[in-house]
Amino acid sequence: MFPNIDHFAKQKNYLCKMPAKKNIRDFDLPSLKEYFESIGDKKFRAMQAYEWLWKKNARSFDEMSNLSLDLRKKLAEEFEFNTITVDATQHSSDGTLKSRFKTHDGHLMEGVIIPTEKRNTACVSSQIGCSLACAFCATGKMDRVRNLGFDEIYDQVTLLNEQSEREYGTKLTNIVYMGMGEPLLNYKNVLKSIERITSNEGMNMSPKRITVSTAGVAKMIKQLGDDNTRFNLAVSLHAATDEKRNKIMAINETNNIAALTEALNYYYNKTKNEITLEYILLKGENDSLQDAEDLVKVYRKIPTHLINVIEYNSVSGIPFLKSDEDTTQLFTDYLMKYKVNVRVRRSRGKDIDAACGQLANKG
């Protein structure tokens, strides 16, 4: 006999009406206490569970060994606990480590550890893909699939921290939101992830060791000021006139240099946090002495403490080239001549596509 179609329709309707499980990591401690009380358990169980979620970095309810088996089973039945996993890891010849992470729903993103003598910096992603399509960036060639949840960003950091301890014998010292995606277009989750990272119940890292990098979303830069954020801000400028910036960064058409200047001054007046300008040198595009002169003019209008001049890292299918050493030296010499605090940032992890602008989920 053929299966009863009405039976399958009823099953489908039943499944659709089943309440969706809530993400247990969306619950703060008071809410967890309320939940445990509601099921007739003790309040202190909430603290035990909370420690597993954030301090002990559990990956499943099964790992919560000081909770009874019955309680763990009940939690698994009522809540989602969706963590990310390491899908692949690559080691660069210069010591840089790149990991590709997989989400519970099968999407991929990348994070990087950059070790030096004084610090171990994690570069983390905030979105799966990116919507900004900067002309020089590998991630910009990808579609934006979705934002990462605050807990997924936190997972990246804890997994990279575990790798740092295992590979280099020391914990992460700094975190930069410079991986895949535009952090300020995932504003709430980025800020909530930083809240967890800096919390006593989380990693207890100083916000001054965290830098959020933006392509320049003026409205959200002002929001950072209104929210009195304590972390540092980096702005990807990459050209000092609207004509040139429009060509390589489409976001400039709606967030031009004048709007950025106003937003950054507003942000600084509210927070007094450090602002860094990022400037990738592209051969024949933005590396002339006239470009340097234009950059000095922008620098003087913004309360920035540093310009990072960055080596361009080639990306397959993208026509831009790295400026040669002589041009880079002339460019930075001009900036220093006019009292600009400038630093040349040498790329790390180029041989495994882990350098700035190269992240594109290559295993």
How do residues 133-147 score in pLDDT, each as one tens digit?
Answer: 888 887 777 778 899
- Given 130, 134, 137, 356, which residue is catalytic? 356
Give the per-residue pLDDT at 6: 53
What's the CATH number for 85-352?
A: 3.20.20.70
Percent of the chain with pLDDT over 90: 79
Which architecture characterizes domain 5-80 according to CATH? Answer: Orthogonal Bundle (1.10)
Q: Where are the domains of the chain?
A: 5-80, 85-352
- Given 77, 110, 165, 278, which residue is catalytic? 110
The letter for the amino acid at 32 is L
- Tokens 């700094």 identify what position? 174
Give the per-residue pLDDT at 356: 55
What tokens were used for 268? 């600084």
Across the range 239-267, mean pLDDT stands at 97
Burial annotation 174-206 (CB, 10 A radius, 16+ → b, else e): bbbbbbbbbbbbbbebbbbbbebbbeeebbebe
Give the per-residue pLDDT at 346: 76
Residue 43, pLDDT > 90, answer no
Residue 79, pLDDT > 70, answer yes
Give the per-residue pLDDT at 19: 56
Across the range 332-354, mean pLDDT stands at 82
**pLDDT tens by residue, 300-326:** 999 999 999 999 987 777 889 999 999
Q: Which of 32-46, 149-163, 301-315, 348-362 shows the lowest per-residue confidence on average (mean pLDDT)?
A: 348-362
Percent of the chain with pLDDT over 70: 90
State the average pLDDT for the chain: 90
Residue 260, pLDDT > 90, answer yes
For residue 348, what pLDDT band results from cuts at 50, 70 and 90?
low
Say how far apart CA 91 and CA 112 lie, in whole Å. 10
pTM: 0.89
Q: Are 207 and 190 in contact (CB under 8 A)?
A: no
Q: Are 122 and 175 in contact (CB under 8 A)?
A: yes
What tokens were used for 197? 């990272």
Q: Which among 257, 343, 335 is positioned nearest to 301, based on CA atoms?
A: 257
Is 63 considered catalytic here? Answer: no
Is 110 considered catalytic here? Answer: yes
CB count, 10 Å around CB of 326? 8
Pairing state between β 146-147 and 210-214: unpaired
Across the range 174-197, mean pLDDT stands at 97
Say how far apart CA 128 and CA 126 lie, in whole Å. 7
What tokens were used for 70? 């019955």
For residue 1, what pLDDT band results from cuts at 50, 70 and 90?
very low
Pairing state between β 146-147 and 127-128: antiparallel
